[in-house]
Amino acid sequence: MGYAQRFGRSPESRDAFIGGAEPPPHIRRHSRGFVAGFPKHYFVKKHILIYGLLGGLLIALLKLVEYRFLVVEHSIEIYGGLIALVFAALGIWLGLKLTKPKEVVVFKEVALSTAAPFSLNEKSRRELTITRRELEILELIASGMSNREIAEKLFVSENTVKTHSSRLFDKLGAKRRTQAVQLGKERGLIP
């Protein structure tokens, strides 16, 4: 049984285009690899692509169903984890907020003297018989200098500074350097 008897048409018409139009001569000559004007491998690739897409959709659907069962089965653990995450974030935020160094503005009152500039009380100096050199040493003691520093500044020996200091302490009635400075300020000898 031949092709025409089986399908009721001639072998030439089997590769005819859809709608009854005749294929062009170059397709008719090599019609074995074409179906309705398209290469046969085009339909094979198309089928593979469709089956691949359907398989991917099916796998995604199964994963979604698996995810839903996972969420339903472990919902308490998931909610507990979410609550722990929220509280951890809140704790970190609060910790950063509370331990942040705060800026402190300090207002400090500074006393400004509106009185006249310092003037030496010559009367008190004469009464106590304090020399100019002893007065100079008292001013340097008040500025916080040691005996050695005073000696270097005045170009004298340290023993000379000690001698002037002890005579000054006797005249003021002081036992220590700080007491001598305080008495000198009270009597108007140093500023």
- pLDDT tens, position by position, 13-55: 444 444 555 555 555 444 455 455 555 565 677 778 888 899 8
Phi, psi (deg, nearest 5) at residue 178: -65, -35
Predicted pLDDT at 29: 46
pLDDT tens per residue, range 118-166: 777 888 888 888 889 999 999 999 999 999 999 999 999 999 999 999 9
Q: Please say which residue of 98, 113, 142 terminates a domain.
A: 98
Q: Is residue 134 domain-shared with residue 90, that is, in the same domain?
A: no
Using the structure block, give the residue that is written with the tokens 């170059």. 26
Predicted pLDDT at 2: 54
Report whether 23 contacts 14 (CB < 8 A). Answer: no
Predicted pLDDT at 20: 53
Percent of the chain with pLDDT over 70: 74
Q: Is residue 50 domain-shared with residue 32, that is, in the same domain?
A: no
Residue 110 domain-assigned (yes or no): no
Q: Is residue 47 domain-shared with residue 32, that is, in the same domain?
A: no
Residue 116 domain-assigned (yes or no): no
**pLDDT class for 113, splitting at 50, 70, 90?**
low
Q: Is residue 128 domain-shared with residue 176, that is, in the same domain?
A: yes
pTM: 0.41
Report how many domains make up the chain. Answer: 3
Report whether 172 contacts 184 (CB < 8 A). Answer: yes
Q: Is residue 49 domain-shared with residue 94, that is, in the same domain?
A: yes
How does the average pLDDT of the chain come out, rounded? 78
Residue 150 domain-assigned (yes or no): yes
Radius of gyration of the chain (CA): 56
Predicted pLDDT at 64: 78
Residue 108 scores a pLDDT above 70? yes
Percent of the chain with pLDDT over 90: 21
Report whether 168 contacts 180 (CB < 8 A). Answer: yes
Q: What mean pLDDT is predicted for residues 52-77?
A: 82
Give dist(CA 151, CA 137) in Å, integer: 9
pLDDT: is 88 or 69 the higher one? 88
Residue 113 domain-assigned (yes or no): no
Residue 109 domain-assigned (yes or no): no
**pLDDT class for 115, splitting at 50, 70, 90?**
low
Predicted pLDDT at 114: 66
Instruction: Please give the residue range of the domain that contains residue 128.
Output: 122-186
Predicted pLDDT at 85: 93
